[in-house]
Amino acid sequence: MHEVSICQSLVSVVLDELAQREVGAGRLKRVRVVAGQLHQLVPDALVFAYELLTRDTPAAGSQLELRVPPLEATCKRCGWQGAMEPPIFLCEKCGAGIEIKGGDELFVEELELAES
């Protein structure tokens, strides 16, 4: 399950951030993670891994929210630009091959904290 290894790096970012901001245990409510489509994460598997990996940490009990932005594609032949949904990697207009921008991003976008 590659969700576990990806989740490990996300959790360490979250824990670092909590330590830096001196956020006490139980105050983290939600973590929003952005992961490009090329990672092909299974949301349920990621959430499961997150719950497992945050157990007994200051992030325990918080929720993971996954945001998967659409891929930006540009057609090499006709110049069409638009959002792309895998597994279709062909131009909507002319059917030619396209160039993909992004899709491999992976980062913690936001930490939502409870009021102290």
Indicate whether 84 belongs to the interface with Zn ion (CB under 5 A). Answer: no
Q: Using CA atoms, how far apart are residues 36 and 102, in angstroms rounded to an integer?
A: 7
Indicate whether 94 belongs to the interface with Zn ion (CB under 5 A). Answer: yes
Residues near 52 by beta carbon (within 8 Å), at least 6 away in sequence: 4
Residue 114, helix vs strand vs coil: coil
The candidate with the shortest Cα–Cα distance to 78, out of 66, 94, 62, is 94
Indicate whether 80 belongs to the interface with Zn ion (CB under 5 A). Answer: yes
The residue (of 60 and 96) whose beta carbon lies closer to Zn ion is: 96
With beta carbons less than 8 A apart as the criterion, state whether 42 and 7 touch. Answer: no
Q: Binding segment for Zn ion among 28-36, 53-61, 90-98, 105-113 (CB under 5 A)?
A: 90-98
Q: Binding segment for Zn ion among 10-18, 24-32, 96-104, 107-115 (CB under 5 A)?
A: 96-104
CB of 93 to Zn ion, least distance (A): 5
CB of 88 to Zn ion, least distance (A): 13
With beta carbons less than 8 A apart as the criterion, state whether 71 and 102 touch. Answer: yes
Q: Which residues bind Zn ion (CB under 5 A)?
A: 75, 77-78, 80, 91, 93-94, 96
